[in-house]
Structure 1
């Protein structure tokens, strides 16, 4: 995975969630960034949001990945 993906994932997180994710191992951070990319690619609702506001879609996908982490 390109480091760019992890950086984009971290940037899409809220400050609180970013702090929590940065405390995880590098391997876990990369796994979550991969899950974030899959969420962006697979969710059709995010496709529509992405057309209107790509940063909003990225933030929504990041929030979903973090929410799944805590379930």
Structure 2
């Protein structure tokens, strides 16, 4: 299990998004990972989901970040 922010973010992404993000420059990956951490920290809905399933909460936050990138 990755311990750095980018690694954790990449692990939370679905395979298609993961491939797209790994092809981006490191700075872009860092920006997206930071947005993902902010999403996890700021959304009360995700807090509840995190209590039930941390991986599901991380995946949902990653999906939201990538949806905003479109």
Q: Which bin holds the TM-score, normalised by the shorter protein?
A: over 0.9
Paired positions, count: 68
Structure 2 length normalisation: TM-score?
A: 0.95
Partner of 2:48 in structure 1?
48
Moved over 2 A (4+): none
Partner of 2:7 in structure 1?
7
Give me the CA root mean square deviation.
0.9
Q: Which runs of 5+ in 1 are unaligned?
A: none
Structure 1 length normalisation: TM-score?
A: 0.93
Partner of 1:22 in structure 2?
22
Q: Which runs of 5+ in 2 are unaligned?
A: none
Q: Secondary structure at the residue paired with 2:9? A: helix
